[in-house]
Structure 1
């Protein structure tokens, strides 16, 4: 487990990390998100003792990183795939790490095989592609067979097969009870990998929640309906207090309702439905919504820059009552 308490880092007048408190638990993949300049890299460097905090503490399984003997056997990390001696072979790079941390020599060949670099083990790393460098960095993180793994942008330079491999690797590590903490700007990949999210903006904690709750709380969800009996369906929905948005092309959108109840309502009035589908925003849309006020660097390519969608107003009628019932059930 990784525990942060009041972690703060200032550079002169600039506060890069502002009183962060959260825990990274074992058994799940925890994603670490934030806009550029949010303080993610600084936070991860402080976790590994590479930067000293201005205030607060970081504990790795209850201890500070500096107090860990043979730290690679406790926590493995990939922060910069280029942080290696280019004149050393892949094998010798890992061998140096192993010898400095009391790790058996046999482990070097094992992790090279795990990451698919056995065939180039004797080649100098300066000739490696970006993807091969990433694999070697991941091998270094796995070398001490640690219970805690940290990865910063682990899919950089990887081909589709490599991306699929690292995704499954992180999931399998978490399934084995290890702590996996991963930072990435690729929202589509994070959505497929992470179970839990920690989101920061301008150095401050914005969210510490499950993936499902994060998307639900920071985006709009609705049910899409299409019917050849559109006008009759509209009448039935209005008669039952359901708030409907007409989205064009004959499509109706209902906020806050469940597909099951809407389907049963249509069936009870012998209405034919050509579509009845729940719609949920993507992780990227939810992330843009939450961090809209925390983006430090804005790019404009002419005209008006696109703005993130605003929070939807509270819907009235039947959909609102469903939401109230659901929320009351959570507190029961």
Structure 2
């Protein structure tokens, strides 16, 4: 379990993390979301003792990270897959980590096999592709067989097979009762992986909810209906006290409710339906709605400003 209480980090006048309080519990995959600049990386670094909080506290299974003996046996983390000495082989990189934490050499071979790098174990890390480096970083996180795992952008550089593999791995680790905390900008992947979400914006906590509750609270749920008899259906629904919004092409939207009563009403009046489906926003849409006011960097659409000059356009 990871317990974060009142966590704050200031860099001069800038407040990167502002009074965060949440708990990452075992047995589920907890997703950590926020726009660029929200303070996610700073928060994860403070969890691992890499940055010192200005205020607040972080405890790993009840203890501060700095007081953990052989910390890799308690918490494994992937924050930056590039943080590897390029002149070391994959095996030797993991061996150094293992020896510093009292982990047997046999475990190095086990995790290399787990992440699929056994065949390149004696190759130097500087020759690894982005995806191979990512797998090596994941191997390092798994090395101590810890009860708590943290992953920052774990699918970065992985091919589709690798993405499916890491998704399955994280779910299996949680199913074993471990604490799994993962940060990612890929909403489609997070929607398939996370059970619970912690969302921050501008350093503040915006949400700490289960995945279904987060989407339900930050999106519009409705029923879409399409029929070749729109006038009849509209009259029947109005007569039953159902408010509809016409969207064109014989389609309607009904806020809330369930599709079954509408289908039964249409059948009773012999109205043909081509579509009757409940709709809800995706995780990405719900996230964008919640964090709209917390985005620090906004992209500009359309052509570049004229004053940037011809040199910019030719670049």
Q: TM over 0.5, yes or no?
A: yes
- Which residue of structure 1 lines up, in the alignment, with residue 313 of structure 2? none
Residue 279 (structure 1) aligns with? 279
What is the match of residue 47 of structure 2?
47
How far 1:147 sits from its partner (Å)? Answer: 0.5
Task: For 1:46 and 1:268, locate their aligned partners in 2 and report how far apart those are by CA, in whole Å.
Answer: 62
CA distance in 2: counterparts of 1:171 and 1:84, whole angstroms = 26
**1:143 aligned partner:** 143
Residue 91 of structure 1 pairs with residue 91 of structure 2: yes
Distance 2:266 2:60 in 1: 55
Q: What's the offset of the Cα at 1:299?
A: 1.1
Shift of 1:129: 0.5
1:206 matched to which residue of 2? 206
Query: What does residue 306 of structure 2 align with?
Result: none
Any idea what SS the aligned residue of 2:57 has? Answer: strand
Could you give the per-residue CA deviations for residues 36-95 of structure 1, whole angstroms, max 9, x where no partner exists? 000000000000000000000001001000010000000000000000111100000000
Q: 3-state DSSP class of the match of 2:209?
A: strand
SS of residue matched to 1:234: helix
Inter-partner Cα distance in structure 1 for 2:84 and 2:96: 11
Q: In structure 2, how many angstroms separate the alpha carbons of the residues matched to 1:285 and 1:86?
A: 40
Q: SS state of the match for residue 171, structure 2? A: helix
User: Shift in Å at residue 240 of structure 1?
Assistant: 1.8
Return the offset for 1:118. 0.2
* 1:6 match: 6
Partner of 1:288: 288
Counterpart secondary structure, 1:106 = helix
Query: Which residue in 2 is equivalent to 1:155?
Result: 155
Instruction: Output the CA distance in 1 between the equivalents of 2:190 and 2:147.
Output: 21
User: 2:33 & 2:150 partners in 1: Cα distance?
Assistant: 13
| Deviation of the 1:212 alpha carbon | 0.7
> Aligned to 1:108, what secondary structure does the other structure show?
helix
Question: Is the aligned partner of 1:33 residue 2:62?
Answer: no
Task: Please identify, of 139-148 and 246-255, the stretch whose mean Cα deviation from structure 2 is larger.
Answer: 246-255
CA distance in 1, matches of 2:157, 2:61: 32
Q: What is the alpha-carbon distance in structure 1 between the residues aligned to residue 264 and residue 95 of structure 2?
A: 65
1:211-222 to 2 correspondences below 5 Å: 211-222=211-222
Deviation, 1:245, is 1.2
Quote the Cα distance in structure 2 between the aligned partners of 1:247 and 1:104: 65
The 2-side partners of 1:34 and 1:177 are apart by 26
Q: Which residue is 1:185 aligned to?
A: 185
Report the aligned-residue RMSD: 1.1
Query: Displacement of 1:295 after TM fit?
Result: 0.3
Once the 2 structures are TM-superposed, how far is the Cα of residue 226 of structure 1 from its aligned partner? 1.3
User: What SS does the corresponding residue of 2:277 show, helix, strand or coil?
Assistant: strand
Instruction: Provide the rounded CA distance (Å) in 1 between the counterparts of 2:230 and 2:249.
Output: 11
Give secondary structure in 2 for the equivalent of 1:38: coil
Deviation of the 1:152 alpha carbon: 0.2
Q: Does the Cα contact within 8 Å between 2:229 and 2:250 map onto a contact in 1?
A: no
> Which secondary structure state, in structure 1, belongs to the residue aligned with residue 266 of structure 2?
helix
Which residue of structure 2 aligns with residue 269 of structure 1?
Answer: 269
CA distance in 2, matches of 1:103, 1:129: 27
Using the TM superposition, give the Cα deviation of residue 260 of structure 1 relative to its aligned residue in structure 2, in angstroms. Answer: 1.6
Quick check: 2:34–2:201 contact (8 Å CA) kept in 1? yes
| Corresponding pairs, count | 304
Counterparts of 1:214 and 1:243, CA distance in 2: 26
Structure 1 runs of 4+ aligned residues shifted over 4 Å read none
After TM superposition, give the deviation of residue 265 of structure 1 in Å: 2.3
* 1:242 CA displacement: 1.4
The offset of 1:280, in angstroms, is 1.1
Structure 1 residue runs without a partner (length 5+): 304-332
Written as runs of structure 1 = structure 2, the 5 A alignment for 1:246-265 is 246-265=246-265
Over residues 208-233 of structure 1, what are the superposed CA-to-partner deviations in whole Å (9 max), with x where a residue is unaligned?
00111111111111111112222111
Structure 2: how far apart are the matches of 1:225 and 1:257?
13
